[in-house]
DNA sequence: TGGTATACCAGACAAATGTCTGTTATGCTG
DNA sequence: CAGCATAACAGACATTTGTCTGGTATACCA
């Protein structure tokens, strides 16, 4: 193998390993070796060790296929909460059966980043129906991710179970009781009598597929 | 270790391995063993082999940490396109440097489902600045996922690189040339002279974190 | 000229990891 | 009950993978 200018091969190795890792697939030293046609494993190890020292890679010691991308690559974004990626159940028709049955029979699962302090069972996802929240940028067909934990707070966007139907509205709590306010001039504020409405949780994330 | 009802432990093992894999981290047999407190590795292997036979997992033979999720699991919902979950780079300031440098230095990564037919390099994510698209339910602070492939089509929501700044607008192509239309009455349509504007791709997904 | 750094090679070794074979229970079923 | 399937265990073994120690060659610099 001919000797290459300093740093050149190193960069190629980095790009290869990075792309593997982005594909969610940590390569072994020998896989990298084969890819580049090196005749010694040690060549690869030298490069990877150097890359770790440069801070371009991170290694979990004592572990096969233990190379990782440093945090700033793997975390969703600096200001997003760090957490685990978990399959959150996407509920179909909440109206038909009760809410509990809907949780048990999800239409599918959504990979969602949830905080380490929370449990997967605190979350579910729901398809939005109707235009009533379009003023808040929540359109029909959007998917909302809902957190069930905690007591409802005035001003939050919540999912309420009302007459066997789940709806997304902004919650307001006053001395007159509970108000569910749409954010669209064409819709009226709901003032459900006590006992007829259950707050399922608050909306923490929104996803929309376009086209 | 007491014997558990049929299928019960199997499901717990599956959920554990699935969660590891969603985090992008294939566990070794002994890691699973430790997690459940099994006293034999073989117990884990039996479960995993069974899960592969049931089609709930997939295995790359002759390879350490070779268990994977089958393609279809990661599908969020029946009508969503099936694809792989991939870490899409979230770009920071596109304005400052050029676009290519921004791709190389992502601010973070977002786990996004991308179709099998596409490549990870066809995608990037971007934070939305400004109110110009709020009429389309795209608010400042939202994250858009952008597909770079294909030719721009009139009517699509696109990301355009204009004067070293990336903006989200709706594209219209007419005989007068290209128009970038905001969806907010307070903003004007842009008609960039030929050569001054580059369409980076079309918006395929939107995500918003609330509170 | 010698020293030093870098790129790469060679092979032995050790640790991590997957595979196999056989054994002990337990529950179900004919 | 015998037969069978499942859950779990035990330990040996093979393969994959990472680590180490030392060597060759080339470029660069004092």
- Hunting for tokens 């396109």 — which residue is that? B81
Contact assessment for residue A210 and residue B157, using Cβ atoms and an 8 Å cutoff: yes
- Can you give the three-state secondary structure of B1-22, one letter per residue? CCCCCCCHHHHHHHHHHHHHHH
Give the distance, in angstroms, between residue B5 CA and nucleotide C27 C1'. 9
- Hunting for tokens 């940590």 — which residue is that? A26
pLDDT at B198: 86
pLDDT at A54: 85
B153 is near strand D: CB distance < 7 Å: no
Give the distance, in angstroms, between residue B21 CA and nucleotide D19 C1'. 27
At residue B140, what are phi and psi to the nearest 5 degrees?
A: -60, 140
Contact A77 B90 (CB under 8 A): yes
Please, what is the Cα angle at B113 between A126 and B80, to 5 degrees?
Answer: 50
Active-site residue flag, A3: no
CB pairs under 8 A between A and B: 122
Q: From CA A94, how far away is CA A108, in angstroms rounded?
A: 14
Q: Which two tokens stand for residue B153?
A: 């089509």
Residues with CB under 7 A from strand C: A 1-4, 6-10, 38-43, 46-47, 50, 62-65; B 3, 28-31, 41-42, 45, 61-67
In tens, the pLDDT along B88-145 reads 888 876 554 466 666 666 677 787 888 878 887 899 999 998 899 999 999 999 999 9
Domains present along chain A, CATH in parentheses: 8-73 (1.10.10.10), 83-207 (2.10.109.10)
Q: From CA B133, how far away is CA B167, in angstroms rounded?
A: 10
Which residues of chain A, if any, have pLDDT below 50? 73-81, 96-97
Instruction: For residue B64, give the chain A residue with the closest CA.
Output: A64
Contact assessment for residue A22 and residue B86, using Cβ atoms and an 8 Å cutoff: yes
Name, in order, each residue with C-beta under 8 angstroms of B36's C-beta and a sequence gap of 6 or more. B9, B12, B13, B16, B44
pLDDT at B5: 63
β-bridge pairing B123-127 and B83-91: parallel
- Hunting for tokens 């969703």 — which residue is that? A76
**Residue ranges of B 11-40 with Cβ closer than 8 A to chain A:** 18-19, 22-24, 26, 28
pLDDT at B77: 45
pLDDT at A204: 95
Which residues of chain B, if any, have pLDDT below 70? 1-6, 23, 71-85, 93-106
Alpha-carbon gap: A69 to the closest alpha carbon of chain B (Å): 11
Q: Strand, helix or coil at A58?
A: strand
Name, in order, each residue with C-beta under 8 angstroms of A196's C-beta and a sequence gap of 6 or more. A162, A163
Q: From CA A140, how far away is CA A147, in angstroms rounded?
A: 20
pLDDT at A82: 57
Q: Which two tokens stand for residue B132?
A: 């110009």
pLDDT at B172: 94
Mean pLDDT of chain A: 82
């Amino acid at each position: 193998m001919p000797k290459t200018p300093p740093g050149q091969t190193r960069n190629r190795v980095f790009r290869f390993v990075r792309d593997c890792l982005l594909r969610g697939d940590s390569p072994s030293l020998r896989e990298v070796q084969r890819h580049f046609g090196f005749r010694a494993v040690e060549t690869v190890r030298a490069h990877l060790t150097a890359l770790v020292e440069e801070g371009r890679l991170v290694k979990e010691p004592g572990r096969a296929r233990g190379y990782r991308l440093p945090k700033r690559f793997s975390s969703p974004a600096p200001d997003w909460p760090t957490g685990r990626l978990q399959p959150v159940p996407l509920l179909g028709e909440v109206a038909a059966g009760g809410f509990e049955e809907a949780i048990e029979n999800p239409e599918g699962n959504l990979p969602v980043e949830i905080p380490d302090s929370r449990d997967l069972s605190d979350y579910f996802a729901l398809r939005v129906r109707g235009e009533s929240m379009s003023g808040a940028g929540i359109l029909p067909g959007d998917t909302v991710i809902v957190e069930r934990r905690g007591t409802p707070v005035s001003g939050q966007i919540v999912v309420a179970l009302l007459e066997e139907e789940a709806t997304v509205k902004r919650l307001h709590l006053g001395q007159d009781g509970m108000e569910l306010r749409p954010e669209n001039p064409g819709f009226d504020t709901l003032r459900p009598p006590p006992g007829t409405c259950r707050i399922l949780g608050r909306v923490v994330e929104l996803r929309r597929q376009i086209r």
